[in-house]
Structure 1
Amino acid sequence: MAESKATQKRTYPLPAYNFRVTVDGQTASFSEVSGIALEYETVTYRHGFSAWEGETITRFRTPKHVPLSLKKGTIMGNNFFGDWLGSDSQSSRAIAVSLCDEAGAPVVVWRIAEAVPTKLTAPLFDATSNQASIETLDLMVSGISVEHV
């Protein structure tokens, strides 16, 4: 039996191409966002009977800074990456990446509290290619949280 449209909407995964990125409340266009991950350092404690019982106490409370990459096409008059790097490259900004449904409404939002640019990569210049020019901004981020709207 075929599933209803409502059941399909609830149970099928959302397409990854329908996303929106906001940086400090300003919507920005990107062709790709990669590297969003929530990682923790682990520490294993050894107690007096660890030789017989094994190492049983592990803590996961030290969050790691993770790299994030934002890619966008080079557009005349749009210097988003340059403005961010030129203003004060050490200032952190808040980023929100929203995965949207077919109507454009956010369904899942990954919030990044602090993002600091570490590297700007210029597009590949190749006279034999007809590909679009894509700039890449690498960031170190912390304070990642996930919100299901």
Structure 2
Amino acid sequence: MADGTAQDEVWPLPKFYFNIDLGDGKTQGFSEISGLESEAKAIEYRHGDSAVFSPIKMPGLRSVGNVTLKKGVFTKDSIFWDWFNETQLNIIKRRTVIINLLNEKASPMMTWTLTNAFPVKMQATDMKSDASEVAIETLELAYETLAVKAA
């Protein structure tokens, strides 16, 4: 349990309790987040008089993937659609999106910050007459940088 003891460092954090601030100062609950990733491309280089007959590798440009957010559909709730509809050709309302992994006291234990995020894909729920599932909508965000911070 996360009560501030040394025992907290022994167990990994559970991944089911989290919230997101979509840049409007209000935290929202979501059912799933995926795509939090960063990658550095390797650059190969070999100078002409190198005694070693192979190139050396060094880190190059970093890139990040898109993040996918999923949440239940509620009456009078259109935050995904409202933000997606604000996006027009070359007119984008970029936001800083903060994802918090919480402990049982609702305190952030890990924080992922997406800078200059904007929606690139919106998907409404699928509908089936013979299903008894919750309606889930999906928003995909592109962003420029990812910062990860532990509590």
Sort the TM-score into its range (normalised by shorter chain).
0.7 to 0.9
Q: Aligned partners of 2:51, 2:36: CA distance in 1, in Å? A: 38
Q: Specify the alignment match of 1:95 in structure 2.
A: 97
Given the alignment, which residue of 107, 110, 113 partners 1:111?
113
Would the aligned equivalents of 1:32 and 1:72 in 2 still touch at CA under 8 Å? yes
Percent identity among equivalent residues?
28
Would the aligned equivalents of 1:20 and 1:29 in 2 still touch at CA under 8 Å? yes
Aligned length: 144
Runs of 4+ in 1 over 3 A off after TM superposition: 5-8, 49-53
Q: Specify the alignment match of 2:16 in structure 1.
A: 17
Q: Specify the alignment match of 1:145 in structure 2.
A: 147
**Unmatched segments (≥5 aa) in structure 1:** none
SS at match of 2:69: strand
Q: Specify the alignment match of 1:31 in structure 2.
A: 31
Would the aligned equivalents of 2:42 and 2:57 in 1 still touch at CA under 8 Å? no
Q: Aligned partners of 1:49, 1:39: CA distance in 2, in Å? A: 31
Q: Aligned partners of 2:123, 2:53: CA distance in 1, in Å? A: 51
Q: Aligned partners of 1:84, 1:114: CA distance in 2, in Å? A: 13
**Unmatched segments (≥5 aa) in structure 2:** none
Q: Aligned partners of 2:101, 2:14: CA distance in 1, in Å? A: 8
Aligned partner letter, 2:87: D
> TM-score when scaled to structure 1?
0.87
Q: Specify the alignment match of 2:63 in structure 1.
A: 64
Bigger share in helix: 1
Aligned partner letter, 1:22: D
Aligned partner letter, 1:135: E
Q: Aligned partners of 1:136, 1:63: CA distance in 2, in Å? A: 26
Two-structure CA RMSD over aligned residues (Å): 1.8
Q: Specify the alignment match of 2:48 in structure 1.
A: 48
Deviation per CA, 1:63-93, whole angstroms, max 9, x where unpaired? 2141110001000001010110122353221
Aligned partner letter, 2:36: I
Would the aligned equivalents of 1:109 and 1:148 in 2 still touch at CA under 8 Å? yes
Would the aligned equivalents of 1:66 and 1:142 in 2 still touch at CA under 8 Å? no
